[in-house]
Structure 1
Amino acid sequence: MYIGKLVRLRAYKEEDIERAVEFINDEEVKKFLDSNIPFPMTKWQEEEWVRSRKANVDFTYDFAIEDLETGKYIGGCSINECDVKNRTCVIGIMIGDKEYWSKGYGSDSLKVLTKFIFEEVNMNKIKLKVFSFNTRAIACYKKVGFKEEGILKKEVYRNGKYHDEILMAIFKDEFAS
């Protein structure tokens, strides 16, 4: 477990799956997560995803995000696409419980995850992608120190129009300072 001011990053538990399915099927949450068609996910699909991630030993890490005060599961974050040679990885984060939006839980989770990656996994660069309409997430990433590296123009089709996808990153030496 890794602890911040507001959150604890921990392993997923069996009882998290029901809430995870609720989060991923919430239209407002889902629109920020995936560039694919926002199709509902079943509990079985979520269980299969969890099993497949546990079986994957290629430097991927998945954490449940828990409210430190209440112990409530509120979302998740992950480290993906680790490039051991070049010391880079791609991350994802989701605060699925909308009661916790815009209250610092996302940035606290991101700080804890970023510290873990730089101090324990020994990466030099952390990358992420965010849709241009996800202004709350962009503000969160910038608050932690992520900087824009590029824009993929009209990369995502949502609600009848195209949106840009923003590429952001932070380096180990920038986070330390």
Structure 2
Amino acid sequence: MIELQPFNEGDFSKLIAEIHDARFLLQWAGPKYTYPLDAPQLRDSLANTNGEKPSFKVFKVIRSDTTETVGHIQLMDIDYDAASCILGRVLIFQNYRGNGSGKAMVKEAVKIAFEDLHLAEINLGVFDFNTPAIGVYKSIGFTEFQFKKGARQFQNESWNVIRMKLNKDKWLHMNNANNGIE
């Protein structure tokens, strides 16, 4: 249904078009980017994808049947010695939401982290009001390990963050059980 391909400068305009205001940018990307999102900020992220052991893997999400770009996802702060990373900047473009693409792309990013990069744990942060994303993460096997009240401020709002993690052993166990291998 979907596949992850390397994100590049040719993909900037489509991603930027999805970021309609400062609140949404903060919700999606955290404080690293400032509104309005632009090419120089995205180039800075892509600079982390270079080298033999890059600290970032940045992907566009493609529908396999149409080759349309339908989203964006990143593996960030990849620590090869600690065998961990952060899953973040997960976005299904507005016109493609509600059809399972979000879950499919997270599953594919997790597979890349565990199988291709040989990592042992993935962490993420999600705002507690983003219940669809929390449901996707839990369905894949992520579990909550920390709740940070008032972790982010936006204008007069205070946002709570749920930290979640998934380790490779649990992921393998879930995949084997789902495939009837157990």
On whether the aligned pair clears a TM of 0.5, the verdict is: yes
Q: State the match for 2:95 in structure 1.
A: 99
Contact 1:35 1:157 in 2 (8 A): no
Alpha-carbon shift at residue 158 of structure 1 (Å) = 3.2
Q: Separation in 1 of the partners of 2:55 and 2:39?
A: 25
Q: Separation in 2 of the partners of 1:32 and 1:101?
A: 17
Q: State the match for 2:122 in structure 1.
A: 126
Alpha-carbon shift at residue 84 of structure 1 (Å) = 2.1
TM-score under structure 1 normalisation? 0.84
- After superposition, the C-alpha distances for 1:37-80 in whole angstroms (9 at most, x for unaligned) are 8621234443x335523446533211111112211112211111
Q: State the match for 1:110 in structure 2.
A: 106
Q: State the match for 1:3 in structure 2.
A: none
Contact 1:24 1:96 in 2 (8 A): no
SS of 1:9 mapped into structure 2: strand
Alpha-carbon shift at residue 90 of structure 1 (Å) = 0.8
Unaligned runs of 5+ in 2: 174-182
Q: Once structures 1 and 2 are overlaid, which stretch shifts more, 89-98 or 27-36?
A: 27-36
Higher RCO by CA contacts (8 Å cutoff, separation 6 or greater): 1
Change (3 A) 1:73 1:29: farther
TM-score under structure 2 normalisation? 0.82
RMSD of aligned alpha carbons: 2.2
Change (3 A) 1:102 1:29: farther
Alpha-carbon shift at residue 27 of structure 1 (Å) = 5.8
Alignment of 1:1-177 (within 5 A): 6-25=1-20, 29-36=24-31, 39-46=35-42, 48-49=43-44, 51-55=46-50, 57-158=53-154, 160-177=156-173
Alpha-carbon shift at residue 130 of structure 1 (Å) = 0.6
Once the two structures are aligned, what percentage of the paired residues are identical? 23
Unaligned runs of 5+ in 1: 1-5
SS of 1:76 mapped into structure 2: strand
